[in-house]
């Protein structure tokens, strides 16, 4: 079964074969490395750019306005903060031209902690991304969603930011999350599309005949049904949420876990229906807890569902610190862990009106 990074690579291949992708580029995106996470190995349209984030985004905007369909990569989201003005420019093109101009570009970048990346390779970017109007923002938590969201991002006529959780890049699909058409044998898939170590100059991938599968941007996924408390999350914290819900089920607490998958637009209808069922909600992510995207969801919950709540809605997020420490203990103290999620759910579920 494919990993998240293999799913992204397969989607990019489908994009250049069937959806009109003309360029996949960024630092070390082309041969011989094929991306720092190997997500662009073997692609026909992949090429290496200078180490210049503003240049990468500016080039993508220019290509898109010239009728091309680029997929640009910022190697780590930690280096995206110096190009906010260009992201605002790209997001405003369709709106400011009254729909006369589109900007069909995808910007993909790895986000979050979990790889012991320390201060310059562990940032989140979801709060910053959702503040930039005009962009669609997606973040997968499993290989099938990574594949389907990337295809939807490529097909969209305007800019889409594809945030890929670093810690999940090598995670494998569950049995019900297989990409349509991928080989049954994961070793065969690796042999077909993973470049060998050493000299790659003569290597060519043998792409499997995967089929189109589009995950609609703006549609959440219910990972686990529950009736006592709702847990709304996305990205790296989705597997943690499911694990915590399974743990609490043994205590008689049934948690409904929702994977938003898309932060802009987001599926408020699914969230609202779940909160109305459970009357309790925990919002979970690993970005810093000051001006967090979860705070927006919490505010909307209070405004629209206040009289249906049995307990104050909660946000569990990362510590408001300048960066993530390199030591394992420091990283674990900076972002929510399984025990924190379980404790927050337990407290919410037992809160009496």
Which range has the worst mean pLDDT, 51-60, 74-83, 148-157?
74-83
Q: Does the pLDDT of residue 341 top 80, yes or no?
A: yes
Mean pLDDT, the chain, rounded, equals: 94
What is the model's pLDDT at position 353? 54
Q: Which residues pair with 34 in a beta bridge?
A: none
Residue-wise pLDDT tens digits, 106-126: 999 999 987 776 777 888 999
Instruction: Provide the pLDDT for residue 120.
Output: 79
pLDDT of residue 260: 98
Q: What is the mean pLDDT of residues 177-189?
A: 92
Work out the average pLDDT over 221-242: 97
281-327: pLDDT as tens digits = 999 999 999 999 999 999 999 999 999 999 999 999 999 988 888 88
> What is the reported pLDDT for 167?
93
Name which of 18-32, 54-68, 164-178, 328-342 the model is least confident about.
164-178
Q: Residue for token digits 């570009």? A: 105
Quick one: pLDDT at residue 176? 74
Q: Residue 116: its pLDDT value, please? A: 74
pLDDT at residue 352 above 70? no
pLDDT-derived band of residue 177, with 50, 70 and 90 as boundaries? Answer: confident
The pLDDT value given to residue 118 = 73
Does residue 156 have a pLDDT over 80? yes
Confidence check: pLDDT of 229 > 90 = yes
Answer whether residue 172 shows pLDDT above 90. Answer: no
Query: pLDDT (tens digit, 9 = 90+) per residue, 44-76?
Result: 999 999 999 999 999 999 999 999 999 999 999
Active-site position among 121, 296, 340, 351? 121
Percent of all residues in the chain with a pLDDT value above 70, rounded to a whole number = 99
121 is catalytic: yes
Cα–Cα distance, 336 to 113 (Å, whole number): 10
| pLDDT at residue 107 in the model | 98
pLDDT tens for each residue of 265-279: 999 999 999 999 999
């Amino acid at each position: 079964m494919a990993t998240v990074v293999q799913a992204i690579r397969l989607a990019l291949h489908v994009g250049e074969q069937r959806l009109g992708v003309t360029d996949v580029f960024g630092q070390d995106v082309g041969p011989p490395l094929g991306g720092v996470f190997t997500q662009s190995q073997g692609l026909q349209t992949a090429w290496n750019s200078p180490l210049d984030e503003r240049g990468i985004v500016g080039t993508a905007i220019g290509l898109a306005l010239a009728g091309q369909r680029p997929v640009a990569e910022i190697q780590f989201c930690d280096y995206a903060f110096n190009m906010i003005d260009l992201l605002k420019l790209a997001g405003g093109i369709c709106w400011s031209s009254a729909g006369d101009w589109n900007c069909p570009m995808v910007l993909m970048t790895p986000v979050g902690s979990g790889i012991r990346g320390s201060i310059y390779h562990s940032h989140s970017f979801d709060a910053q991304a959702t503040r930039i109007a005009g962009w669609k923002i997606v973040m997968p938590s499993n290989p099938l969603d990574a594949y389907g969201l990337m295809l939807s991002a490529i097909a969209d006529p305007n800019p889409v930011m594809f945030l890929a959780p670093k810690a999940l890049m090598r995670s494998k699909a569950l049995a019900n999350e297989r990409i349509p058409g991928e080989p049954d044998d994961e070793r065969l898939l690796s042999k077909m599309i993973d470049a060998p170590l050493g000299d790659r100059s003569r290597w060519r991938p043998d792409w499997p005949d995967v089929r189109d599968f589009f995950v609609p941007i703006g549609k959440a996924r219910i990972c686990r049904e529950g009736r006592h408390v709702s847990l709304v999350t996305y990205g790296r914290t989705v597997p943690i949420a499911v694990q915590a819900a399974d743990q609490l089920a043994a205590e008689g607490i049934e948690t409904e876990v929702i994977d938003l998958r898309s932060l802009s637009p987001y599926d408020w209808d699914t969230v609202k229906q779940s909160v109305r069922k459970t009357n309790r909600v925990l919002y979970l992510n690993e970005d810093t807890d000051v001006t967090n995207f979860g705070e927006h969801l919490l505010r909307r919950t209070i405004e629209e569902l206040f009289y249906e709540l049995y307990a104050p809605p909660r946000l569990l997020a990362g510590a408001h610190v300048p960066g993530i420490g390199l030591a394992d203990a420091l990283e674990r103290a900076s972002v929510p862990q399984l025990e924190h999620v379980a404790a927050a759910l337990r407290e919410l579920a037992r809160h009496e009106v």
